[in-house]
Amino acid sequence: MTLDSSLEVFDGRRRIHVRSICVGGDIDTRSLRKARSLSATPLTLQVGCGGFAIVFRYAAVVFFHVAPPEERAFLDELSPLIQRPATEPMIEEIELAISTHNREGIEGDTIFVPDFTLPVLQVVAEVLARSVVLERFEGRVGSTFEALQPMAASFGIGRLTRTHHRNLLKRLSDVLLDQQEMVGRVAVSDKPDALWDHPELERLYARLTEEFEIPDRFEAVESKLDLICRTIQTAVNLVQSRRSLRVEWYIVILIVFEIILSLYQMFVRGHWH
C-beta of residue 16 within 8 angstroms of C-beta of residue 10: yes
Q: Which string of DSSP letters, residue by residue, matches the chain? A: ----TT---STT-SEEEEEEEE-SSEE--HHHHHHHEEEETTEEEEETTTEEEEEETTTEEEEES--HHHHHHHHHHHGGGEES--SS-EEEEEEEEE-SSS--EEETTEEEES---HHHHHHHHHHHHHHHHHHHHHHHHHHHHHHHHHHHHHHHTT---HHHHHHHHHHHHHHHHHHHHIIIII-TTSPPTHHHH-GGGHHHHHHHHHHTTHHHHHHHHHHHHHHHHHHHHHHHHHHHHHHHHHHHHHHHHHHHHHHHHHHHHHHHHHHH-
pLDDT confidence bin for 264, thresholds 50/70/90:
low
Which pLDDT value is given to residue 24? 84
Q: How many CB atoms lie within 10 A of CB 229?
A: 16
- Strands 90-98 and 60-64 turn out to be unpaired
Which pLDDT value is given to residue 156? 55
pLDDT for residue 125 is more than 90: yes
- Strands 110-113 and 90-98 turn out to be parallel
Q: SS3 sequence, 224-248?
A: HHHHHHHHHHHHHHHHHHHHHHHHH
Which residue has better confidence, 49 or 165? 49
- Cα 175 to chain centroid distance, Å, stands at 10
pLDDT for residue 68 is more than 90: yes
Which pLDDT value is given to residue 2? 45
pLDDT for residue 18 is more than 70: yes
Which pLDDT value is given to residue 129? 93
Q: Which residues contact 103 (CB under 8 A, 6 or more apart)?
A: 112
Q: Rounded to an integer, what distance in angstroms lies between the CA atom of residue 256 and that of residue 218?
A: 57
pLDDT confidence bin for 255, thresholds 50/70/90:
low
pLDDT for residue 34 is more than 90: no
Q: How many CB atoms lie within 10 A of CB 248?
A: 10
Q: Which residues contact 148 (CB under 8 A, 6 or more apart)?
A: 171, 228, 231, 232
Task: Residue 122: name the closest of 194, 46, 196, 223 by CA.
Answer: 194
Q: Rounded to an integer, what distance in angstroms lies between the CA atom of residue 148 and that of residue 68?
A: 38
pLDDT for residue 66 is more than 90: yes
Give 133-174 pLDDT, tens digit per residue: 888 888 877 777 776 666 656 555 555 555 565 666 666 666
Among 59-63, 75-79, 235-239, which is the least confidently predicted range? Answer: 235-239
Which residue has better confidence, 25 or 61? 61
- pTM of the predicted structure, to 2 decimals: 0.75
Phi (first) and psi of residue 64, to 5 degrees: -115, 115
pLDDT for residue 94 is more than 50: yes
